[in-house]
A and B are shown apart, each in its own frame.
Chain A
């Protein structure tokens, strides 16, 4: 993309010609901004259909074991995304009792396990099965190490990430 002189403060290449300004009065516009800036294993496209995202595919090995193949990707800060980053995201979300604002229905059970089999393969085990697993993965954000180190969904007012994911 070419740089453009603009009237914007700071003189960035971004100006009115390539800026889209939106007004979103929804009380959940924080979630839209999360989904515009974070990525998860899977997502939902504009037709409402589930699609692979940072996981390029997945399959149930049996009624309790989900295997996901991670995509080769690089975060915007240059860090490589791999299965270990997925595992890190899982470990982080499991640190909290009820991290998701929409409610506990998005929680993974405490006995769910996640193993990075190799750089691209994740194996999750759901004792007793969980048909909601892919829905829950849609809400499990997979940011870079820098995000976890500097923010980590912690509310600065409370020091907690409960209900703040």
Chain B
């Protein structure tokens, strides 16, 4: 139960305190610890605290790959990883009528130019997994017949040159968290005669760009299309950078009216559609990364949320 502080969409108190409900019906999820969200100390200081074992902070959420890689050797804390239901993907800027990215063949060609494993390994220290599109293998709605688009720079170059993009500088907008990823994409594209300019999304999104990287996560009980695919491509998408897609909207309507096992079949159909149309620059599924004190047993959630019911103090 919440005993101190508030956390709202637009504001939160310096700390939020939650104490266990000793009469909670589910013993397996009955917390045994008081949880304090410290909203003041900050991530960098929190990471230092975990590594030093000074007791001020036990878990820091949402580390960047660089922060995880840079975590000091410590017998007081460690980096914990989770292959949560998250994606890192590129949204094409299709807002202008003459945008080359309105052509699925051009979008597919840029996908073929990317060596995803190299981008993941060198741009994000390997914290993630290359996946086909938006759903991880083995998850609800994943199509076992799908595989990531191949790395085929020669084919990519041919199509992109035909589209008038030879020698172009492509503008990639991304959070500073993903600057290393953009730099590695740039190295891939240099091999086919293109260059990349990184623009931080902290500086405001420019009027025109080519690709904007978005991290997104699925918190749903096995209904990924509404949460993730819709957010990128649906009628009411907040991440879409182009016109509505009647093909996607029709599939989404079909999903909403499906029943029984058809729901998962249509989910797979949506996932295949997104890849067939090269609707995004598919990259990989990033790990969620935590700095965790050795004094606690921390259970991370695949939803990427900081749910803490099962987290315990060791001993």
Tell whether A5 is near chain B: CB-to-CB under 8 Å: no
Would you mind naming 17 contact pairs between A and B with Cβ atoms under 8 Å apart? A19-B36, A22-B308, A23-B37, A23-B38, A30-B12, A32-B307, A33-B16, A36-B307, A44-B301, A47-B302, A48-B301, A49-B221, A105-B236, A131-B256, A135-B227, A138-B219, A138-B220
Q: In this complex, what residue of B is CB-closest to A164?
A: B9
Interface residues on B, range: 35 or more
Q: Are A30 and B259 in contact (CB under 8 A)?
A: no
The answer to whether A105 touches B230, judged by C-beta atoms less than 8 angstroms apart, is yes
By a CB distance below 8 angstroms, the chain A residues around B305 are: 28, 31-32, 35
Given A44-B220, A46-B310, is A1 in contact with B22 using a C-beta cutoff of 8 Å?
Answer: yes
Whole-angstrom CA separation of A63 from B257 in the bound complex: 9
Known contacts A18-B33, A26-B306, A49-B222; A101 and B38 CB within 8 A of each other: no
Task: Establish whether residues A48 and B35, one from each chain, have CB atoms under 8 Å apart when the complex forms.
Answer: no
Shortest CB distance A68–B (Å): 14
User: A121 an interface residue at 8 Å Cβ cutoff?
Assistant: no
Type the 1/0 row for B5-44, where 1 means its CB is closer than 8 Å to any CB of A.
Answer: 0011100100010110111110000001111111101110
A14 is contacted by which of B19, B85, B302, B309 (Cβ under 8 Å)? B19
Stretch at the interface among A71-79, A87-95, A110-118: A71-79
Whole-angstrom distance between the alpha carbons of A163 and B35 in the complex? 26
Partner of B57, one of A23, A35, A71: A23
What is the interface residue range for chain A against chain B? 35 or more
Given A44-B219, A138-B219, 8 more pairs with CB closer than 8 A: A37-B1, A46-B310, A63-B259, A105-B234, A105-B236, A135-B226, A155-B8, A163-B9
| Closest Cβ neighbor of A74 among chain B residues | B23
Chain B residues touching A, majority SS: loop
Contact for A74 among B25, B256, B260, B303, CB less than 8 A: B25
Q: Interface digits, B229-243 against A, CB 8 Å rule (1 contact, 0 not)?
A: 011001010100000
Highest count of chain B CB atoms <10 Å: which of A30, A43, A74, A128: A30
Task: Return A141 CB to nearest CB of chain B, in Å.
Answer: 13
Closest residue on chain B to residue A8 by CB atoms: B34
Closest Cβ of chain B to A92, distance in Å, is 18
B129 to chain A, nearest CB (A): 14
With A32-B305, A44-B221: A23-B9 Cβ-Cβ less than 8 Å: no
Q: State whether the Cβ of A42 lies closer than 8 Å to any Cβ in chain B.
A: yes
Which residues on A sit within 8 Å (CB–CB) of B23? 74, 76
Q: Is B248 an interface residue (CB 8 A)?
A: no
Query: A85 within 8 Å of B by Cβ?
Result: no
A64 to B258, CA, bound (A): 11
Say whether, besides A23-B42, A33-B7, A134 and B221 are in contact (CB < 8 Å): yes
CB distance from A107 to the nearest CB of B (A): 11
Residues of A within 8 A of B313 (CB): 17-18, 20
Which of A21, A74, A138 is the most central at the interface, judged by chain B CB atoms within 10 Å of its CB?
A21
Question: Are A21 and B227 neighbours in the complex by a CB distance under 8 Å?
Answer: no
On whether the beta carbons of A104 and B236 are closer than 8 Å, the reply is yes
CB-defined interface of A130-148 with B at 8 Å, one 1/0 digit per residue?
1110110010000000000
Which of A36, A49, A63, A74 has the most chain B CB atoms closer than 10 A to its own CB? A36
From B302, which residue of chain A is reached at the shortest CB distance?
Answer: A48
What are the nearest 9 A-B pairs in CB distance?
A50-B221, A48-B302, A23-B46, A135-B223, A32-B306, A14-B34, A24-B61, A73-B25, A76-B21
